[in-house]
A and B are shown apart, each in its own frame.
Chain A
Amino acid sequence: MSLYMSPKYKEQVLDRKRWFEWDYKWFWGSFAWVLHRLSGWALVFYLLLHIWVIHHLSRGPAAFDQVMQAVGTPLFKVLEIGLWGVIVYHAFNGMRVIIVDFWHGSKYQKQLFFIVLFLFVVLWVGGGIIMALHMIH
């Protein structure tokens, strides 16, 4: 590089870099991204589990019913409601990201994020109630 740097000075600097700056101000964009990342990873692990469960179909009805029983407990049902929330968030925020990247949505990214949050709450609560009702039946 064409900028002169004294060798002495190189030794002196204080490196305070961290992989994530926790005390940096949290803007909506960072919230959106952190949640997107977490939800994406959660979905992948669910997907792995899901494929493994469904794969029991090929071992016949008995095997399938057996695992369905294991994952059919109330605990899993409640977790499923959580899964629904994760899906809704990831899906709608994913669309927000796509709109920003493909269709010049950057100017409206905050508004888009509020819409995502709104839909997330409405659909999660709405869907959650329906699922809870199914559970009780």
Chain B
Amino acid sequence: MKATFKIFRYDPDKDKKPYYKEYTLDVEPNTVLLDVLNDIKWHYDGTLTFRRSCAHAICGSCGMTINGKNRLACQTLIKDLDTSKPIKIEPLKSYPVIKDLVVDMNKFYEKMFKVKPYLVNDNPPPGREFLQTPEEQKLIDEAYSCIWCGCCTSSCPSFWADDDYLGPAALLKAYRFIFDTRDTLTEERLRIVNDADGVWRCHVIFNCVEACPKEINITEYISRLKLKVVTSKL
């Protein structure tokens, strides 16, 4: 089966402006899109550039906008895409582009760091593990599985409009620690998300949930954060 891939290209060394380049090649319905990109890079056009590592949706490197939707190339099969038209592949929306499909995620990381993404527990550690029941663990079970791919934040209209918005991934990270029964920095974390550019910029648009390759119900956790903020004394 033949399919055409229309890929965003930009190399600051030689291009003034980005452009799209089309590649047509043989694929199977079960071919993983990342393998198609590798195939292009290794056999047709060595200059095509993208990030990838694990090849099975766990390292978060290969987030890109595929047919207008953010997803991981290594988790997208050709059969999930409409091959009757060229398949459009762009770098993740709204992040600056370094080259081709490689984006600069520093802003994203900065926000992750802003919510103090590390467990703080001021109590003297017991001689063994902190106890946490399976129910308590379930609260954060889904939230901690975020792989920092950035698909969600890049898909959020609030983030498009407002660069400073913390964004779904960082809010999810904040949730993961605020609702971790072992963490004691709750109040400070709540203050961080309770900012004009924090949790209140979320208008429950759900683009983030649609984009998240780990199928995390991010909006749910953001909503819980909002409720927690308004019901806490800050």
Q: Which of A43-51, A57-65, A100-108 forms part of the interface with chain B?
A: A100-108
Q: How large is the interface on B (under 10, 10 to 19, 20 to 34, 35 or more residues)?
A: 35 or more
A51 to B28, CA, bound (A): 64
Query: Is there an interface contact between A16 and B97, defined as CB atoms closer than 8 Å?
Result: yes
Chain A residues 17 to 76 lying within 8 A of chain B, measured CB to CB, are 17-21, 23-25, 27-30, 32-33, 37
Q: How far is the CB of A37 from chain B (nearest CB, A)?
A: 8
Asked if B1 is at the interface (CB within 8 A of a chain A CB), the reply is no
A136: CB under 8 A from chain B? no
Complex Cα–Cα for A29 and B67 (A): 18
Q: Is B96 within 8 A of A104, CB to CB? A: no
Judge if B29 is at the interface, Cβ distance under 8 Å. no
B153 interface contact, C-beta 8 A: no
B204 touches A101 (CB 8 A): yes
Residue contact A17 to B160, C-beta cutoff 8 Å: yes
B217 touches A107 (CB 8 A): yes
B residues 73-96 touching A (CB-CB < 8 Å): 93-96
Q: What chain A residues lie within 8 Å of B109 (beta carbons)? A: 1, 3
On chain A, the residues within 8 Å of B204 by CB distance are 29, 33, 97, 100-101, 106, 109
A13 at the interface (CB under 8 A from B): yes
Which applies to chain B's interface (DSSP): helix, strand, loop or mixed? mixed
User: Is B110 close to A, CB under 8 A?
Assistant: yes
Question: By the criterion CB–CB under 8 Å, are B219 and A24 in contact?
Answer: no
Assess whether B69 is interfacial by the CB under 8 Å rule. yes
B115 to chain A, nearest CB (A): 13
Q: Residue on A with the closest CB to B202?
A: A101
Partner of B94, one of A3, A5, A21, A101: A21
Give complex CA distance A28, B155 in Å: 14
Known A-B contacts A1-B113, A13-B104, A33-B204; A27 and B210 likewise in contact (beta carbons under 8 Å) = yes
- Interface 9-mer from B54-62, B180-188, B189-197, B220-228: B220-228
- Min distance, Cβ A113 to any Cβ of chain B, angstroms: 9
Q: A24-B68, A33-B204 are in contact. Are A106 and B110 (CB under 8 A)?
A: no
Given contacts A1-B109, A17-B160, A97-B204, contact A106 B96 (CB under 8 A): no
Known: A16-B97, A27-B206. A101 touches B223 (CB 8 A): yes
Does A133 count as interface, using CB distance less than 8 angstroms? Answer: no
Interchain CB contact under 8 A, A101 and B210: no
- Which of chain B's residues have a CB closer than 8 A to the CB of A14? 10, 12, 18, 96-98
Given contacts A14-B96, A33-B204, 19 further A-B pairs with CB under 8 A are A1-B106, A3-B106, A14-B12, A16-B97, A17-B94, A17-B160, A20-B161, A23-B68, A24-B65, A24-B93, A27-B207, A28-B206, A29-B206, A29-B209, A30-B207, A33-B157, A100-B219, A101-B227, A107-B220
13 contacts between A and B (CB under 8 A): A2-B113, A14-B96, A16-B18, A18-B94, A20-B160, A32-B205, A33-B205, A100-B219, A104-B223, A104-B224, A106-B204, A106-B220, A109-B219
Taking Cβ atoms with an 8 Å cutoff, the residues of B that contact A are 10, 12, 18, 65, 67-69, 93-98, 104, 106, 109-110, 113, 155, 157, 160-161, 163, 203-207, 209-210, 217, 219-220, 223-224, 226-227
